[in-house]
Structures are given as structure tokens and as C-alpha cells.
Amino acid sequence: DILEEEFPGATIILFGSFSRGDDTSASDIDIAIIGRKEKEINLEKFEKLLERKININSYSALKDVHKDLRENICNGIVLVGGIQL
């Protein structure tokens, strides 16, 4: 809900090892935000709660993402919004 409030109208996708379920205790949490420019957001309390580093990658459009990373994002879990492949 916090990300949805901070990035209204954006598509928010959980991707990487955490979304696939093959994460380890050393894995970070990768989140892609599509449709909004980068915005500073304090994730410290969530990182402490989850005991994981959280990486947020912001893109204006999915087409702006490098093709290898785009495939990884498209295989992720859409938390908010939707994407057209």
C-alpha cells in the first residue's frame, strides 16, 4: 500500500529471487516501478522489518528497460497495476 500511495498510477512488480521463492537470507528484494520517474522513498523501516535490503528500480516505460532485465521483471509478480507484453 505504501508504494502504491507513493507512486500512484504506476505498475509495481516484485522480481528476482524473492519473487521466484529461491531467495536466501542474503538475498535482497527487487522491485520495479514502471510508469513513474524515480522518487526518493525511505525504506529503512521496511528493510529492518524484513531483514533484507530493498532495491527499487524506476522506469518511465517497460521498453526503457534492458532486454535481459525486462525478461526478469516480466517474470515477476505484479503487485499493483499491469503490464502489456
Catalogue all structural domains in the chain, each as residue range(s) with its CATH number: 2-80 (3.30.460.10)
How do the pLDDT tens digits run along the chain, 85 residues long?
788 888 888 999 999 999 999 999 999 999 999 987 767 788 898 899 999 999 999 999 988 899 999 999 999 999 999 877 6
**Torsions phi, psi of 18, nearest 5?**
-65, -40
pTM above 0.75, yes or no: yes
φ, ψ for residue 57, nearest 5 deg: -115, 125
User: CB of 35 within 8 A of CB of 60?
Assistant: yes
3-state SS class at 47: helix
**C-alpha grid cell, residue 39:** 522518487
